[in-house]
Amino acid sequence: MDQEKDLTKKQKKELRKLESLDHEKAAKKSGTTKWAAIIIAGALFLGFFIYIIYSSKQAKNVQTTAKLTSGGWLRGDKAAKVTLVEFSDFQCPACAFREPMVQQALKEYDGKVKLLYKHFPLTSIHKNAMNASKASEAAGKQGKFWEMHDLLFEKQSEWEGVADSKKVFIGYAEGLKLDSEKFKKDFDSKEIEQKITKEIDEGINLGVNGTPTFFLNGKVIDTPVSYEDLKKTIEEAL
Amino acid sequence: MQELVSQTITALATLVLLSNIASIFLVLLLILRFVTKHPIIRKIHQFILDNATSFSLIVATVATLGSLFLSEIAKFDPCKLCWEQRIFMYPLPILFLVALITNDTKVKKYVLPIATIGLGFAIYHILLQTFPQALQCSDELISCTRKYTAHFGYITVPVMSASAFMFIIVLNLFRNPTK
């Protein structure tokens, strides 16, 4: 720095000239590769984004009928024409909010609509969701899946924040007059965990990324905001 | 669609393999240039030095688009750690592009720390996948420890990321020895 200060204005000017000459020389040398690199990078970006736009337009036409398995819990008449599939999370407030709508639809369209419930616990944001799913499955082992399901949604605010959710769920099981020893064993079983994981994987493969996600006769539907919404969609499918 | 995805991933993995070989070659070149003044070594060194920014632009572009391909087309959900690495990769193509257009050789100074931090995240991610018990990171729907793809026995997504950062770092280590 000191050295630079000592230079006269003229010398400084010359130095700058020399530097820029150096730059130009270097620039000339790598000129072709430089522009080639810029063009290749530009073409890659352009091509990629054109492809994304193109494929997203196509995806809208293709993704309408997804492959759903029959895994999950069935509620309503087996022979019903319309199947409503719900990917749900017991700790999800949005799911609890829509629970009465689903119940009402099942009642109003008894024999025409059936519900297939699939687990999709969002374990990253809901710490007790996985345990809740396990509790419902363990109750299901004793034939009381839907009783536990209803209870979990009803008392969501009671258990969502607790540290030891398993203990609370055992309490619920006792309230439902389940064999609590068997419940505890099933709760921790690999079998139940695998069943839930399988349903989560199925949801991921179908593009489910939030709960609740509803499918009506294999087609994903907009999440209903009111019962009227849901009713309209069902009427269309009937 | 499925075929396109698997073919592109294989292509990306091949590029990664080549970039690993190139990185090793460049490191050797840097060492050789330091110990000998052989004219051929000097010439190759000068060639890399002259075109380092151009090559870096291509590498950073492929890495950026590759990661976008994995999330947007192959539909692999990027986990939290993937996002950290993306943060440090995505600015690089822009930096290199501007540097090329304006003939700015100083870009190396800014790029090296960015790429080094990115490499740090990538290495952490690789460790996490190799020893999932040792470290914890699972606050995403798709856990960071889930290995999506392993080509040639070692190339997973974070290995791809680490290779790209590594290649960019090595490319930008080249300096004019006379200065």
Region of poorest pLDDT, from A28-37, A76-85, B26-35, B54-63: A28-37
Which amino acid belongs to residue A121? P
Q: Do A44 and B62 touch (CB under 8 A)?
A: yes
User: Does residue B66 surpass a pLDDT of 50?
Assistant: yes
**SS3 call for B161:** helix
Kindly indicate the confidence band of residue A27, based on its pLDDT and cuts at 50, 70 and 90: low
Kindly indicate the confidence band of residue B139, based on its pLDDT and cuts at 50, 70 and 90: very low
- In sequence order, the 6+-apart residues with CB closer than 8 A to the CB of B16 are B151, B155, B159, B160, B163, B164
Chains A, B: CB contacts within 8 A come to 63
pLDDT digits over A90-131, tens only? 998 888 888 898 999 999 998 899 999 999 998 877 889 999
Q: What are the chain A neighbours of B77 within 8 Å (beta carbons)?
A: 204
pTM of full prediction above 0.90:
no
| B106 close to A (CB below 8 A) | no
Kindly indicate the confidence band of residue A217, based on its pLDDT and cuts at 50, 70 and 90: confident
Kindly indicate the confidence band of residue A64, based on its pLDDT and cuts at 50, 70 and 90: very low
Average pLDDT over residues B160-175: 93
Place of tokens 């710490």: A127
Q: According to the model, what pLDDT value does residue A201 have?
A: 86
Q: According to the model, what pLDDT value does residue B142 have?
A: 45
Q: What are the chain B neighbours of A34 within 8 Å (beta carbons)?
A: 51, 53-54, 100
What backbone torsions phi and psi does residue A159 show, to the nearest 5 degrees?
Answer: -110, -10
- Where do the domains of chain A lie? 1-60, 73-237
Q: According to the model, what pLDDT value does residue A226 have?
A: 85
Measured distance CA(B145)–CA(B136) in Å, rounded: 9
Nearest to A44 among B61, B100, B138 (CB): B61
- Cβ burial B41-60 (10 Å sphere, 16+ → b, else e): beebbeebbbbbbbbbbbbb
Q: Are B135 and B129 in contact (CB under 8 A)?
A: no
What backbone torsions phi and psi does residue A235 show, to the nearest 5 degrees?
Answer: -55, -40
pLDDT digits over A179-196, tens only? 989 999 999 999 999 999
Kindly indicate the confidence band of residue A30, based on its pLDDT and cuts at 50, 70 and 90: low
User: Does residue A28 surpass a pLDDT of 80?
Assistant: no
Cβ atoms within 10 A of the Cβ of A56, count?
A: 11
- In sequence order, the 6+-apart residues with CB closer than 8 A to the CB of B128 are B81, B134, B135, B137, B144, B145
**SS3 call for B151:** strand
Which of A33, A53, A92, A122 to probe the B interface (max B CBs under 10 A)? A33
**SS3 call for A2:** helix
Largest pairwise CA distance in chain B: 55
Q: According to the model, what pLDDT value does residue B179 have?
A: 46
pLDDT digits over B107-123, tens only? 999 999 999 999 999 99
Higher-pLDDT residue of A209, B86: B86
Kindly indicate the confidence band of residue B145, based on its pLDDT and cuts at 50, 70 and 90: low
Q: Are B119 and B162 in contact (CB under 8 A)?
A: yes
Write the DSSP symbol of residue A72: S
**Measured between CA atoms, how close is A90 to chain B, in angstroms?**
16
Measured distance CA(B144)–CA(B158) in Å, rounded: 10
pLDDT digits over B9-35, tens only? 888 899 999 999 999 999 999 998 888
Q: According to the model, what pLDDT value does residue A207 have?
A: 77
Q: Are B68 and A47 in contact (CB under 8 A)?
A: no
Question: With the CA atoms of A87, A91, A92 and A94 taken in that order, what torsion angle do they form, in degrees rounded to the nearest 10?
Answer: 100
- Fold (topology level) of A73-237: Glutaredoxin (3.40.30)
Average pLDDT over residues B38-60: 90
Pinpoint the alpha helices (H) of chain A.
2-6, 9-29, 31-62, 93-108, 129-140, 145-154, 156-159, 165-175, 180-187, 190-205, 227-237
Radius of gyration of chain B (CA): 17
Q: According to the model, what pLDDT value does residue B134 have?
A: 52
